[in-house]
A and B are shown apart, each in its own frame.
Chain A
Amino acid sequence: MVAVKETVEQVRALDVDQYKYGFSTELEVDKAPKGLSEDIVRFISAKKGEPEWMLEWRLDAYRRWLTMTEPNWARVSYPKIDFNDSYYYAAPKMNASPKSLDEVDPAILDAYKKLGIPLREQEILAGVQTSKIAVDAVFDSVSVVTTFKEELKKVGVIFCSISDAIKEHPELVRKYLGSVVPVTDNYYATLNCAVFTDGSFVYIPEGVRCPMELSTYFRINEKNTGQFERTLIIAEKGSYVSYLEGCTAPQRDENQLHAAVVELVTMDDAEIKYSTVQNWYPGDSEGKGGIYNFVTKRGDCRGANSKISWTQVETGSAITWKYPSCILRGDGSRGEFYSIAVSNGMQQVDSGTKMIHLGKNTTSRIISKGISAGRSQNTYRGQVSAHKKATNARNFTNCDSLLIGETCGAHTVPYLESKNSSAMFEHEATTSKISEDQLFYCRQRGLSAEEATALIVNGFVKDVLQQLPMEFAVEAQKLISISLEGSVG
């Protein structure tokens, strides 16, 4: 396994507290005043040049948010967040809407270059990059550039930032925004409704198989800012899209808030494959700094035989609170959730999924692999439910946890609710440490403890890695090894 060798080398080259993407970019920024109020919501809406209905929608959400209380059921603890102590809008100063990459601040382009994100189409076409991926690059509160827009347009695919979509495709946005995650769904989702700044919008028309992978790269750069992105993907009848998402942030001593909402809709026979590699700054080994990641992701399989598949590799963030879910409404629809959650240092992860079986013959599959090291706490929390009418619903859940070291914790909290006699649910979970026998076997063959651990861990998460698109899988494998750095021996 070549990748394993690479990961091990990568691990060696790094110190415990080194986070590869921890650099920050010096830029002139356009910021909203600090704090949160109706005026800030109006400010964001005005900055984005939004229509009146959008502002009303935001204000309504904000007023509702004021009446809500922060959820405390997750197994994460953090000091109370002062929502008035951060900036809700920060955008690099630049032309209102750059026509081409030449108009974008070179410092930003440089940042993406450092992150290894291809933004120049000609480079990609010239074969500098091996495969073709369309990227929407979101920097703090704004989308900087979206590549391959024109080429995608030819087949009818709309791929743009959500701010552009509000202006250019208001009928689609109005129809679907908030239809999967309602405005009042939860505290963080409601906050996001009020203050979201950018994100991606994807529309795949009937019968189209999206010709390339679509991706969004989120970067938090500014100090003290919160990032609130909003992604909406609609796959019409018989269409298919694979969408990737990546995130990083600079290394800072204070905590930053990230509260995103992602909504997916699939019609008859459509399929969305959504992959995430989440690598926000996790804080240092003493738990100082890091991103608070409160994310609501939900897919609605509205049509018959539609499919939504979530794959996530979670290695970053000081706190992760994230439950990508599927509402299996259409008969014969299928939901999948594949997750690797790695926690090290003082990270706290509370993640899982919900599979809500409403339609007949719906199926779902959950594979969750949690790896805890250091002094971290890693929780899987998931719900599988079958409605009375969900005849022949099927679910298989497998949650495995691996503990490395005696100061970390691994927890499993599944909820299985069946109201239908023909529904069949199977759940299994195990928790153990890396087997001494396996370690011994590897070391006997000349691998160091760290190499052996990396090899075994890679084997442990293989089921999930296989679900990721190729390029991502290699990246994810490296990431896992780096995240576990310093946890062995």
Chain B
Amino acid sequence: MTIITPIRTQAEAAYISQFPAFEAGLTTRDPAGLKLRRAAFERFVALGLPHRRIEPYHYTDVRALLREVAGPAVHAKHTVALPEMAVLPSALSALEAFKIVLVNGVLDRARSDLGRLPEGVKVHEEAEPAVDGGLADDPMIALNTAFMTGRVVITIEAGIKLDTPLHLQSMIGGAAVAVYPRVTLEVGKGAAVTLVESHFGPDGVAYQNNSLVEIVAGDDAKIDLVRVNAHGKAAADFSTLAVTLGASNVFNAHSFVTGGALSRHQVFLRLEGEHSVVTLSGAMLLNARQHADTTLVVDHAVPNCQSREHFAHVLDGEATGVFQGKIIVRPLAQKTDGKMMSRAVVLTDGATMNNKPELEIFADDVQCGHGATVGALDEDLLFYLQARGLPKTEAEALMLQAFAGEAVAMIAHDGVREALDGAIDAWLKERA
């Protein structure tokens, strides 16, 4: 079917009109980088914003959902004063970690702990994108490449094992702005690291975040990544995680979402070395008219790898949850073991859950499965708890805590896991 792209929406027109001025204002004149940006921009012009006829965005019609786009924040980076910002979610404030702070998408050296980073850990900035992510057909990634405001490169040298997490705090503030941060994490052979990304900004300001995190792992590396979306209630958040794993990696990534009016987190993970073990998990607690989309593509290109996914959605009010998970097993990837689970609790008739777990399998000696459930809280269990004297709201909270906690429990780092358990509590208290 030929897809007829209708006339430009206001948001598309805004992106297109912003680029020439943005490009002219760039201070670096690296021709390769500029070429990448220009090519990405042209691709966006050709593709437009994704809509429901584009299969990967079937349930998140960005064309219809994204009305206005703020200007890029690049020129405003030093004018934002801290008090205007939303503060770090209290649950994470006690977390002991090395801070790497981005203010409106740009590395803020003063607020970061760059001076006291442990040995073997380096953080530096690059002005231009190195690659376009290899995900050329995604218009949101094209926008990140075109409008990127500096790339933060975190390097963990081979053999370095960090006990204390790195905490990337991306704060957005001031007036409504659009920010396009990009982070590259390079983990050397045999290294181990926990990276917490927290994204936050003020409530009531319609800002946009479009971030891309690239991870390249050497053999035997162990990486724990936790992304916390604590954006303001009016924010739009488009984030991509692109991961390429080597051999015998242990990779865990968790996505925790409570913020944003419209958010989409997409993970493209490619297993290129044998004997790696991947766990992806997530807890999404949504209310009001929030829309949160989680899209995963786990690509088994080599044999003998294992992947596990567990995602839990709690939907209150008129919220919409979207889960799309795809496991690809290429012809050579024999002995692949893949399991994917998506569970959702729909608390009201106004809320919607859309699930699309997919298997695409080209090798025969594999064990792959997925499960998806959608439903209300179990009446019998609620009754049991109420019969023991718990008021209904508390009984519900207890069950929801367990439900979301199951996904959070997959986070390896104790401190981070406890912090997020606290965040679930806070969300449930607010709900009550």
Contacts and interface: CB of A to CB of B under 8 A. Distances in A.
B346 interface: yes
Interface string A414-443: 111111111111111111110000000000
A431 B349 contact: no
Contact of B364 (A70, A71, A406): A406
B-side interface mostly: strand
Nearest to A404: B364
A421 B360 contact: no
Contacts of B2: 69
Of A72, A401, A412, the most chain B CB neighbours within 10 A belong to: A412
Interface in A381-426: 388, 401, 403-426
Contact of B375 (A401, A410, A424): A424
A152 to B, nearest CB: 43
B361 interface: yes
A147 B81 CA distance: 86
B346 A420 contact: yes
Contacts of A424: 373-376
A73 interface: yes
A414 B331 CA distance: 22
Interface residues of A, number: 38
A406 B365 CA distance: 8
Contacts of B353: 416-418
B324 to A, nearest CB: 9
A69 B373 contact: no
Given A409-B362, A413-B358, A421-B351, A429 B1 contact: no
B359 A411 contact: yes
Contacts of A405: 364
Interface in B353-378: 353-376
A406 B336 CA distance: 13
Given A70-B1, A427-B371, A417 B358 contact: no
B55 interface: yes
Contacts of B371: 426-429
Contacts of B368: 430-432
A215 B73 CA distance: 69
A416 B358 CA distance: 11
Contacts of A70: 1
B375 to A, nearest CB: 4
Contact of A401 (B351, B354, B357, B361): B361
A305 B340 CA distance: 35
Contacts of A430: 367-369
A411 B327 CA distance: 10
Of A73, A405, A416, A423, the most chain B CB neighbours within 10 A belong to: A416
Contact of B357 (A404, A408, A427, A431): A427
A432 B347 CA distance: 35
A432 B366 contact: yes
A409 B360 contact: yes
Contacts of B348: 421
Given A70-B1, A431-B369, A418 B346 contact: yes
Contacts of B55: 73
Contacts of A427: 355, 357, 370-373
Contacts of B363: 403, 406
A69 B58 CA distance: 20
Contacts of A403: 361, 363-364, 366
B354 A415 contact: yes
Contacts of A431: 359, 361, 366-369
B294 interface: no
B210 interface: no
Nearest to A426: B373
B352 interface: yes
Interface string B321-337: 00000000001001000
Nearest to B59: A417
Contacts of B372: 414, 416, 425-428
B203 to A, nearest CB: 27
B54 to A, nearest CB: 11
B140 to A, nearest CB: 21
Contacts of B366: 403, 431-433
A418 B374 contact: yes
Given A73-B1, A423-B374, A431-B368, A414 B351 contact: no
A428 B373 CA distance: 9
A403 B366 CA distance: 9
B322 to A, nearest CB: 10
B364 A412 contact: no
Contact of B367 (A411, A421, A429, A432): A432
A413 B358 CA distance: 5
B361 A410 contact: yes
A409 B348 CA distance: 39
B373 A429 contact: no
Given A420-B346, A429-B369, A411 B355 contact: no
A410 B359 contact: yes
Interface string A109-135: 000000000000000000000000000
A4 B353 CA distance: 44
A416 B324 CA distance: 10
Contact of B361 (A409, A414, A420): A409
Contacts of A432: 366-368
Contacts of A433: 364-366
A408 B420 CA distance: 43
B374 to A, nearest CB: 4
A432 B370 CA distance: 12
B378 to A, nearest CB: 10
Nearest to A385: B354
A204 B369 CA distance: 42
Contact of A414 (B344, B350, B356): B356
Nearest to A402: B364
A116 to B, nearest CB: 34
Nearest to A408: B364
A422 B370 contact: no
Contacts of A429: 357, 359, 369-371
B356 A415 contact: yes
Of A70, A72, A421, the most chain B CB neighbours within 10 A belong to: A421
Contacts of B344: 418
A412 B370 contact: yes
Contacts of A406: 331, 334, 363-365
Nearest to B355: A416
B364 A417 contact: no
Contacts of B351: 419, 421
A412 B356 CA distance: 10
B301 to A, nearest CB: 15
B341 to A, nearest CB: 10
Contacts of B357: 412, 414, 427, 429
A421 B347 contact: yes
Contacts of A408: 362, 364
Given A418-B352, A431-B366, A423 B375 contact: yes
Contacts of A388: 349-350
Nearest to B363: A406
B349 A412 contact: no
A423 B351 CA distance: 12
A414 B348 CA distance: 24
Given A406-B365, A421-B376, A428-B371, 15 more contacts: A69-B2, A388-B349, A406-B363, A408-B364, A409-B361, A411-B361, A413-B356, A416-B356, A419-B351, A425-B355, A425-B373, A427-B371, A428-B369, A431-B368, A432-B367
Enumerate the 4 nearest inter-chain pairs by beta-carbon distance, A residue then B residue, closest first.
Answer: A403-B364, A416-B355, A424-B375, A430-B369
20 contacts: A401-B361, A403-B364, A405-B364, A406-B334, A411-B358, A412-B357, A412-B358, A413-B358, A414-B356, A414-B372, A416-B374, A418-B346, A419-B349, A419-B351, A420-B346, A423-B346, A427-B373, A431-B366, A433-B365, A433-B366
Interface of B: 1-2, 55, 58, 331, 334, 344, 346-376
